Amino acid sequence: MGPRESGAAGLACYVSPGPRREPGGPDLAASHASDGILGWRWWPREELAREAEPVWPPGLARLLDAWEAESGHRRPGPA
């Protein structure tokens, strides 16, 4: 899939289906610590739609819904 309009001037997002997987690797903890990342998690689409916290790009759930409608891709069931 090509770029999707993000609403931010001059920026594009690329969307592609892929497997749901946990991040890993031998240097992940050190990399997160150096970047100030305290934790991570997968966000359910419904929670993204509420945008209780800032997400990028703004309207991510809406953009994903539009991509699914245009591409015919369906998100998998609960993990």
pTM over 0.75: no
d(CA 10, CA 73): 26
How many CB atoms lie under 10 A from the CB of residue 49?
16
* pLDDT given for residue 78 in this prediction: 53
71 has a pLDDT exceeding 70: yes
**Cα four-point dihedral sign 36, 40, 43, 47:** negative
Higher pLDDT, 3 or 43: 43
**Average pLDDT of 37-52?**
85
For the chain, give the percent of residues with pLDDT over 90: 9
pLDDT band of residue 76 (cuts 50, 70, 90) is low
